[in-house]
Structure 1
């Protein structure tokens, strides 16, 4: 069905007040975009740090309302709610409904990582080359959480897990996926032979997506998810952390303490050029540290002393 769309520009400082007013008068959704997306000032917000909600300095807010909403009455209600804000700049148009999730899934195709790891979306048949007896197939609905296999940071970790499985290092290994997102890495480890996995993420939505994906893949009995404050302190033979370099630096002590002696770690979400500092950061705890590149992104892996 159609919707009435309201669009306006604001600053980062004004954004909470505008969004609060829009939600109070009945906005069905509020979307934030970079107001400078078409200029050289654009910068991507890939994944926030723990407790952070970073935004652009100038934003475009887009709010959807029911189709029969009267724009003039809506503006009157917004001005009454917060008269100090400038509502005269608001623009309106009618937009058609679209199944955005389905449109996204239509672009998400089956992918192979390493020798036998396959990520297959729910709306696709399992491809021919994934029908061998030893194929590790993860059927995925990423939902709202990061992690579908399409990003190089995730692909680097999936190939690493596939290699560990080929070396027989997952068969008896409990795996920690720190910053689990959709749960894709933990699920792949379980499909590759790990007996159990733990996922940790600071986003409750990620934990919901991870648990749902685990159930869909029939491995939920072997997969537990936690917020960072609720995570049981333990050590693991295999730890993977696909977050960002700043978080990997801040969490180095924590992540190192989670890896059992002789255990393996993989760190991803590292832009090319950031790997040297992180190699030095993790060297006190790990041997055989290696940096592997995929496009603009790096993975560091090593063995705990």
Structure 2
């Protein structure tokens, strides 16, 4: 069954009102995006959870999916009414044919080469290098497919600096990708922690798909719940703590993460924008000698070693 795709420009002040009206009039979906997307005028937006964005796109565009028999003129008149315009907005109208959306979605995710020995491979792809460490990971319920710069930064650090026999805490584990990678790279003991139960479900599924035994790998919604779940925390504090979250949560969690790290152990932090790096560095410098270890696409990876005199 075909559909109609209607695209038009809009000012940021009217986006919520127009989106609500379109949905009331039977729109199947409403997508708001940067009108300059893919050009030199593209305007990236970033924000922390629970906090309003300080800005919005200067030139926004709306694409709405409609039933094939939708009254486009009536919808355009409603948009003009909301925006206070006496003329109908300029628009593009296209016919969208029914497609195999699963295959189209899968086509967006190719194997990702982290290093010569480490790959992230969706389950529907052949292994690009059967002799490498191949993590089977599909897009799912939780963050972490290897496609985001912060995930790649953390994976690269683990690939380069993790020592066989290390114990690793992955705080904010999401899909479990960092925890699973650490285990495959030789860690003796790994625990992933995430407050979202869906993330724990995704992590456990991904661990099974990568043939990770539960004797060396566990997941929990809080460190305090590990003992009650029979996993034990006798191996903590860890020799490596990695957290790929966001700057504000990392700042608040600093005492917790550093307590979970052995003196002389390594702390690895990402989910931090270049502009936020100094603030996070300052907070963690109370416990460790921190530095910017890597950068990619405006994101940074911070790493440091906890002072041997700094007891957990």
Question: TM-score, normalised to structure 2's length?
Answer: 0.72
Shift of 1:299: 1.9
Matches for 1:29-108 after TM superposition, within 5 Å = 29-37=29-37, 42-45=42-45, 48-52=47-51, 54=53, 55-72=56-73, 74=75, 84-85=82-83, 88-89=88-89, 91=91, 92-99=93-100, 102-103=103-104, 105-108=106-109
* 1:185 matched residue in structure 2: 178
Q: 149-158 or 35-44, which moves further after superposition?
A: 35-44
CA distance in 2, matches of 1:267, 1:257: 15
CA contact (8 A) 1:144 1:205 kept: yes
Matched, 1:224 2:250: no
Q: 2:286 aligns with which of 278, 284, 287?
A: 284
CA distance in 2, matches of 1:3, 1:281: 52
* 2:18 matched residue in structure 1: 18
Shift of 1:158: 0.9
CA distance in 1, matches of 2:207, 2:52: 27
Secondary structure in structure 2 of the residue aligned to 1:14: helix
Question: Kindly tell me: are residues 59 and 285 of structure 1, through their superposed partners in 2, closer, same or farther at Cα, counting changes over 3 Å?
Answer: same
* 1:158 matched residue in structure 2: 155
* 1:28 matched residue in structure 2: 28
Shift of 1:250: 5.1
Give per-residue Cα distances to partners, 1:37-69, cap 9 Å, x unaligned.
Answer: 4776532135x3122464434421211122233
CA contact (8 A) 1:200 1:231 kept: no
Question: Unaligned 5+ residue runs, structure 2?
Answer: 226-232
Matched, 1:176 2:170: yes
Number of aligned positions between the proteins: 288
* 2:258 matched residue in structure 1: 256
Shift of 1:4: 1.0
CA contact (8 A) 1:211 1:225 kept: no
Shift of 1:20: 2.2
Question: Kindly tell me: are residues 220 and 103 of structure 1, through their superposed partners in 2, closer, same or farther at Cα, counting changes over 3 Å?
Answer: farther
Secondary structure in structure 2 of the residue aligned to 1:158: helix
Query: RMSD of the alignment, in Å?
Result: 3.8
Give per-residue Cα distances to partners, 1:90-113, cap 9 Å, x unaligned.
Answer: 733322345555345435433443
Question: TM-score, normalised to structure 1's length?
Answer: 0.73
Give per-residue Cα distances to partners, 1:121-169, cap 9 Å, x unaligned.
Answer: 12211233x33xxx5431111247543324443222112223454x224
Question: Kindly tell me: are residues 115 and 84 of structure 1, through their superposed partners in 2, closer, same or farther at Cα, counting changes over 3 Å?
Answer: closer
CA distance in 2, matches of 1:11, 1:140: 39
